[in-house]
């Protein structure tokens, strides 16, 4: 899993680099940012589902396998907008974000940190103190 934090007010998004499986930490240096056709994706969830999640975003009906849990952000640079991607019953939803929000295993810790005025990067650092699936290098991007 991972943690992604987005501050609408600051125009910043941050994410960690930890990859886990069960209680095992595979790496603390995974890049979770993928760029495809002018869209930057920040992905949380199963590594094996990343390609299918990105592909579903670009399809007209946005169908996706029902067992995929989508926790992702899409940053469309040409539109300068941030979207939250979620999935339910085999259908991906794309929602424009006009408020602070977080996703992933440490999201509930990170959103509290954002509410207290921390930057997204600082919020991820706080989440990493309590969430074992959040950690490694924390990257922050201006959107």
User: Domains in the chain and their CATH numbers?
Assistant: 3-142 (3.60.20.10)
Confidence (pTM): 0.90
Q: What is the mean pLDDT of the chain?
A: 90
For residue 130, pLDDT over 90 is answered with: yes
User: 65-74 burial, b if ≥16 CB within 10 A, otherwise e?
Assistant: eeebebbbbb
What is residue 131's predicted lDDT score, i.e. its pLDDT?
Answer: 96
Give the Cα separation of 86 and 92 in Å (integer). Answer: 6
94-118 pLDDT, tens digit per residue, is 999 999 999 999 999 999 999 999 9
Q: List, in sequence order, every residue forming a beta bridge with 33; answer none if it has no partner.
A: 42
What is residue 15's predicted lDDT score, i.e. its pLDDT?
Answer: 95
- Going by pLDDT thresholds of 50, 70 and 90, the confidence category of residue 143 is confident
Residue of 45 and 86 predicted with greater confidence:
86
65-89 pLDDT, tens digit per residue, is 888 877 777 776 667 789 988 888 8
């Amino acid at each position: 899993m991972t943690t992604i934090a987005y501050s609408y007010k600051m125009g910043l998004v941050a994410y960690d680099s930890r990859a886990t499986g069960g209680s095992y930490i595979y790496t603390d240096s995974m890049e979770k940012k993928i760029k495809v056709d002018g869209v930057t994706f920040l992905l949380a969830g199963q590594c094996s589902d990343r390609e299918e999640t990105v592909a579903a975003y670009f399809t007209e009906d946005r169908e996706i396998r029902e067992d995929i849990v989508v926790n992702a952000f899409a940053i469309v640079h040409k539109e300068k907008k941030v979207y939250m991607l979620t999935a339910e019953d085999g259908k991906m939803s794309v929602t424009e974000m006009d408020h602070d929000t977080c996703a992933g295993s440490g999201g509930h810790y990170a959103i509290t940190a954002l509410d207290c005025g921390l930057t997204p990067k600082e919020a991820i650092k706080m989440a990493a103190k309590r969430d074992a699936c959040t950690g490694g290098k924390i990257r922050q991007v201006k959107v």
